[in-house]
Structure 1
Amino acid sequence: MIMKKSKKCFNLNIDDKETLNTFGSSRGELFMIDLDDVFKNSGSILYNLPVSDLIEEAIRNNEGKLLENGALDVFTGKYTGRIPKDKYIVNEESIHNDIWWENNNSMEKENFIRVLNRVIDYLKKSRKLYVFKGFVGADPRYRYQVTVINEYAYQNAFVHQLFINPKNEEELKKESDFTVICVPNFLADPIYDGTNSEAFIIISFEEKLILIGGTRYSGEIKKSVFTMMNYLMLKRNVLPMHCAANIGSNNDTALFFGLSGTGKTTLSTDPERFLIGDDEHGWSSHGIFNFEGGCYAKCINLSPYNEPEIWNAIRFGTILENVIYDVNNMPVYTSSKITENTRASYPLEYIPRKASNGIGGNPKIIFFLAADAFGVLPPISKLTNEQAVDYFLLGYTSKIPGTEKGICEPQATFSSCFGAPFLPSYPMRYAELLKKKIAENDSVVYLINTGWIGGHYGIGKRIDLKYTREIIKNVLNGELEKAKFKKDTVFDLMIPEKCNNIPDELLDPIKTWEDKNDYFQTANNLLSAFKARLDYIKNGIHQ
């Protein structure tokens, strides 16, 4: 029996065997049998509840607090970000040779089964479960159906906002392509389960199943699904990308690659262009498409002046994570008391100018963003195709003092393909596909420094966001192509001599440094780090 509560809300009768089977997919007997048996003794199962109902549930369950701007603010406890050491891929025969094991923790199948069976026993005793069925992938040709089972209402609201919601019941197949079970209150036993701690994120490609436990940080759901898509897309000759994308009025698509803190979400959310997505996309022979239906923006130091679209998107329906609020129940975005990694999740429809279908053409312009705290990279430089592959493999940015414990001076950090933690396979496989697509589509790649000029962190200053926006604008409207370019003296990069509305001296970093010798020493040290990293990626690991 299925009792309708609203067009998109169902309360599933736990004796409805056929309905329960739709939680699974065509996978081994292990998972199907266990899921059939899960709900016999559990409480109510709330299926595809509207976000408004989920927020009511979350408040009723004391999961979070509704702030004056309408957003639900939750605190995730011990874990306020991803925990790579606790993320595993099950070492299964069919995928073993595809996995970059130096980058991914391995879990034996027996351990996975042990954890799964204990999670299943835990679910049987659950008072209430929240289930979402929807999609990942805006292009129907590359779309996957996903089921997410949560014990927290706010996390189910999160997946409603982040993934693609079905338009009607007919859009959903009987069986999902893969399933996520997220039980933050279930703690692993490291000795018995073979985990590093009480927390775990386990991906089984054969079972098409993701288990998450011990952590309330919602980003683990999003990023584990992205990891799975990174594997599935590559098998279909589609480049999975950790990037933002937008499209202009002339249907010109642009991509923005960059690690956290480089301005990917901020720069792609452009009032003059339509946002396709802020984080995860695929590039097929037909063009690019968003994996998601929402945004997961960092909101530390968020301001209505610099990021008005994001600021205005934080309202009822938005989930805030770890944001401090004042006595008037207003969020204090400047506070990092809990973490620098404060987050806001909201649907794309909260952005005034968004691409309606989450799809764009083959991109002609690609930006690689790096927040260079050493202050030696140019604010903009044009890359050759070979350089584009190298900087893609580097995935460079830098960390500054205060962002992480123990960092007392600027530190170079690398993440291959701008998303190493989410790469199941080897970086060169993604890089070769990028190189092919750039060549086929005559795409031009620019390296943008959103970091420091005039000296390293502590001496120089961060590039004004208004200048970076002007640089991006000059590239997208074709004005920069009219400029003369010259070669940088250290990195062999082509930098423009002029750019509209940008002081000429800012375009060449050496001109902004008082101590030229210090500049060359700092720049050559960074170049040496680049070369060492590239040597490791190209020659030091199995391809």
Structure 2
Amino acid sequence: RLIGDDEHGWTKEDTVFNFEGGCYAKVINLSLENEPDIYRAIKPGAILENVIMGANGVVDYWDISITQNTRVSYPIEHIPNIQVPSIGEHPKNIFFLTADAFGVLPPISKLSPGQAAYHFISGYTAKVAGTEAGIVEPVPSFSACFGAPFMPLHPTVYAEMLSEKMQAAGVNVWLVNTGWTGGSYGTGQRMKLKYTRAMITAAMNGSLEEANKDNYHIHSIFGVSQPRVCPGVPTEVLSPRKTWNNDVSYYKTAHKLADSFKENFKKFESYANDQIMAGGPLV
């Protein structure tokens, strides 16, 4: 059951809670077929942003004349399968979501405690055309702990807390790339939602770990554990390199992104322990 959308806390009593009470979602190209829960959540009580509505009151979700960053806010009660109240036991799996517009990160990868801390501190995503004025090609964007403006303490403090909690609770941490595959933004395609859902479902029910235990592919640039197989997902989709059909271009772009990670992390190096530093790119 869904506890909440974005802002959560993990207590010393090993409970997880949400303190938003609602959801904030993109609605670009929204349809009942592609996103039924979000589509049905848009009813009285929801707030739409940056969209075009016709004289008949029907919203054209394909109209991006204002911006591609069209959004909706809605109460959590607008969607099914929610947890009431918004409190749960400690998690078995944690998912870091990133939209890699460079198309080089695996669609899902398992992280070690050190890697989880490193990527948590990095907070990587990518800006693409339409997210901000003047952006015409992918630009790496790093926001510590995936929410730097909201973190009063140094990011390494939260990263070490995360590592301690995930090791104590035996939590698996996964990095999920909902961005591009088969090439960078402008060349490749956005990862299909049905594949992302299948990968997350497999991680949650244990079948992903069962199918790949002791047989993960270690990514040669980022060092993360990349599944070789996943129920409901074509094998070739799991390897970003194979989707490019051009090894030279893929590795050139992957090295470029790895360099961006390392450059961003320089400001954290003096605070990070050896385990965290070992969680970064291998090259």
Cα RMSD, aligned residues only: 1.7
Residues 407-422 of structure 1 correspond to what in structure 2 (within 5 A)? 407-422=135-150
1:450 aligned to 155, 174, 178, which one? 178
**Number of the residue aligned with 1:292:** 20
**Number of the residue aligned with 2:54:** 326
Larger RCO of the pair (alpha carbons < 8 Å, separation 6+): 2
Q: Does 2:238 match 1:507?
A: yes
Q: Distance in 1 between matches of 2:194 and 2:35?
A: 11
**Number of the residue aligned with 1:335:** 63
**Number of the residue aligned with 1:430:** 158
* Local SS of the residue matching 1:275: coil
**CA offset digits 1:38-81 (Å, max 9, x no partner):** xxxxxxxxxxxxxxxxxxxxxxxxxxxxxxxxxxxxxxxxxxxx
Q: Distance in 2 between matches of 1:508 and 1:300?
A: 27
* Local SS of the residue matching 2:3: strand
Q: Distance in 1 between matches of 2:116 and 2:138?
A: 24
**Number of the residue aligned with 1:253:** none
Aligned-pair CA distance for 1:401? 2.5
**Number of the residue aligned with 2:250:** 519
TM-score, with structure 2 as normaliser: 0.90
Contiguous gaps of at least 5 residues in structure 1: 1-273
Aligned-pair CA distance for 1:352? 1.6
Q: Percent identity among equivalent residues?
A: 51
* Local SS of the residue matching 1:539: coil
Contiguous gaps of at least 5 residues in structure 2: 273-283
Q: Distance in 2 between matches of 1:387 and 1:526?
A: 16
**CA offset digits 1:371-414 (Å, max 9, x no partner):** 11111111111100000000000111111223322222111111
* Local SS of the residue matching 1:345: strand
Q: Distance in 2 between matches of 1:489 and 1:297?
A: 34
Q: Distance in 1 between matches of 2:154 and 2:240?
A: 34
Aligned-pair CA distance for 1:431? 1.4
**Number of the residue aligned with 2:112:** 384
1:529 aligned to 236, 260, 263, which one? 260
| Structure-2 change in CA distance of 1:386 and 1:351 (3 Å) | same
Residues 177-216 of structure 1 correspond to what in structure 2 (within 5 A)? none
Residues 15-164 of structure 1 correspond to what in structure 2 (within 5 A)? none
Number of residue-to-residue matches in the alignment: 268
Instruction: Say if 2:69 and 2:130, in contact at 8 Å, map to a contact too.
Output: no
Instruction: Say if 2:92 and 2:172, in contact at 8 Å, map to a contact too.
Output: yes
| Structure-2 change in CA distance of 1:533 and 1:540 (3 Å) | farther
Supply the AA of the counterpart residue of 1:432: E
TM-score, with structure 1 as normaliser: 0.48
Supply the AA of the counterpart residue of 1:455: G
Q: Distance in 1 between matches of 2:183 and 2:23?
A: 34
Q: Does 2:92 match 1:361?
A: no
**Number of the residue aligned with 1:483:** 211
**CA offset digits 1:190-248 (Å, max 9, x no partner):** xxxxxxxxxxxxxxxxxxxxxxxxxxxxxxxxxxxxxxxxxxxxxxxxxxxxxxxxxxx
**Number of the residue aligned with 2:279:** none
Aligned-pair CA distance for 1:540? 8.2
**CA offset digits 1:489-534 (Å, max 9, x no partner):** 1111111111112111111111112221111111011111111112
Supply the AA of the counterpart residue of 2:6: D
Instruction: Say if 1:428 and 1:538, in contact at 8 Å, map to a contact too.
Output: no
Q: Distance in 1 between matches of 2:67 and 2:248?
A: 37
**Number of the residue aligned with 1:148:** none
| Structure-2 change in CA distance of 1:293 and 1:402 (3 Å) | closer
1:492 aligned to 213, 216, 223, which one? 223
Q: Distance in 2 between matches of 1:496 and 1:510?
A: 13
| Structure-2 change in CA distance of 1:296 and 1:402 (3 Å) | closer
Supply the AA of the counterpart residue of 2:208: L
**Number of the residue aligned with 2:280:** none
**Number of the residue aligned with 1:177:** none
Aligned-pair CA distance for 1:323? 2.3
Q: Distance in 2 between matches of 1:345 and 1:403?
A: 17
**CA offset digits 1:232-280 (Å, max 9, x no partner):** xxxxxxxxxxxxxxxxxxxxxxxxxxxxxxxxxxxxxxxxxx2110011
Structure whose alpha-carbon radius of gyration is higher: 1
